Amino acid sequence: MQAFEYVRPDDVADAVAMVSADPDAQYLAGGTTQLDLMLNDGVLEPERLVDITRLPLRGITHHEDSLHLGALTTMEELAADATVSERVPFVRDALLAGASVQLRNMATIGGNLLQRTRCRYFRDTTVPACNKRRPGSGCAAVTGAARMHAILGASGHCIAVHASDLCVPLVALDAAVHIQAVDTARAVPLTEFYLLPGDRPDRENVLEHGELVTEVVVPLLPPGARSGYLKIRDRASYEFALTSAAAALVIEDDTIVDARLALGGVGTIPWRAREAEEILTGARANTDTFRDAAEATIRNTFTVPGTAFKVDLTQRTIVRILQTVSGAWS
């Protein structure tokens, strides 16, 4: 591990200025990804670590139709919020399906959005071929063993999954990310925040160096909407998703009048299933409809031998979550 300077400002403008002015500076929030990649894996080697945990960005503000989440709110704090349980319960379900209670007490919402991939080749610096870690070096996962990898949004340059559970319901809800730069602030829809790998998998999102995520705004579901999160994984807890799905439906007289669906574990970015939503909206809530929606979602996949099983598993995951949320099992 290389030596680094550690600083802990208590002002947002100071923190943003420090990182923006120094290409070798990085932010530290709960540290559950950042310190892992620095101390255990040696993938990140900042010369300056700017600890943001003293910034006034922790807490949840309740508005009539939305929640404003300070970027330093922990996963556990968000999961315990009564409005989350009442109005967007699939956000709570996704949070509680992730990591462990100890990690969730440290991990922040901003850090969760910005967590790095779990691709084992990315995290192993003895593997030379990783376009995300060393642009232009190739992709060991495309030719090697791959299982926890993406089939949607992937390319021959990178098949790494975005591993967040939380982001799956958040993209379904059209959450927005608020970003602070040195002189400006902006808001970006979460559906536009992440970049597909294309031939530049090292560029993962729209943030410029030094930009700080300050807040995430989460619209609430309308009263009467039903929602759920299903995570399929190799063991029942403390494991990342092979596939996951977040669904929210408004159903009137057996007809779906509003549908939101997003997927995790299968996309290089948290995956909004818009083709499925179009099929679902206005259709009868039954298994035939759900199968049509699932089939439309996985038409353009990129698979390698180790991930081919995910095509079928993704469809089954979609059908199951839609059956569960709607209560329509036939």
Residues near ligand FAD (CB under 6 A)? 26-34, 36, 71, 98-99, 103, 106-108, 110-112, 114-115, 163-166, 212-213, 240
Encoded one letter per residue, x for contact with ligand SF4 by CB under 6 A and - for no contact, window 197-226 reads: ----x-------------------------
Q: Which stretch binds ligand SF4 (CB under 6 A): 43-51, 114-122, 164-172, 234-242?
A: 114-122
- Minimum CB separation of residue 130 from ligand SF4 in Å reads 3
Positive or negative, the CA dihedral 180, 185, 190, 192 is: negative
Q: How many CA atoms lie within 13 A of 11 on its CB side?
A: 5
> Looking at 27, 90, 122, 193, which residue binds ligand SF4 (CB under 6 A)?
122
8 A C-beta contact, residue 175 and residue 217: yes
Q: Which of 121, 240, 271, 290 touches ligand SF4 by CB under 6 A? A: 121
Q: Any contact of residue 266 with ligand SF4 (CB under 6 A)? A: no
27 binds ligand SF4 (CB under 6 A): no
Binding mask 156-195 for ligand SF4 (x = CB under 6 A): --xxx-----------------------------------
Report the nearest approach of ligand SF4 to the CB of residue 263 (Å): 18
Beta carbon of residue 323, minimum distance to ligand FAD (angstroms, whole number):
24
Asked whether position 130 contacts ligand SF4 by CB under 6 A, the answer is yes
d(C-alpha 295, C-alpha 303), whole Å: 16
Question: Please, which residue, 66 or 115, has the CB nearer to ligand SF4?
Answer: 115
Question: How far apart (Å, rounded) are the C-alpha atoms in residues 277 and 156?
Answer: 28
Confirm or reject binding of residue 141 to ligand SF4 (CB under 6 A): yes
CA–CA dist 76, 287 (Å, integer): 35
- Cβ contacts of residue 120 below 8 Å, gap of 6+? none
Do 246 and 320 meet the contact criterion of CB atoms below 8 Å apart?
no
Question: Binding partner of residue 114 among ligand FAD, ligand SF4, none, CB under 5 to 8 Å per kind?
Answer: ligand FAD
Buried b (16+ CB within 10 A) or exposed e, 130-164: bbbbeeeebbbbbeeebebbbbbbbbebbbbbbbb
**What are the Cα distances from residue 184, in Å, to 22, 180, 211?**
18, 6, 10
Torsion of CA 80, 238, 265, 69, to 10 degrees: 20
What, of ligand FAD, ligand SF4, none, does residue 132 touch, CB below 5 to 8 Å by kind? ligand SF4
297 makes contact with ligand SF4 (CB under 6 A): no
When asked if residue 117 is in the footprint of ligand SF4 (CB under 6 A), the reply is: yes
Give the sheet arrangement for strand 271-272, strand by strand: 226-232, 243-252, 255-264, 271-272
Residue 247: exposure state from Cβ atoms within 10 A (0-12, 13-18, ≥19):
buried
Q: Can you give the binding site for ligand SF4, defined by CB under 6 A? A: 117, 119, 121-122, 130-132, 139-141, 158-160, 201
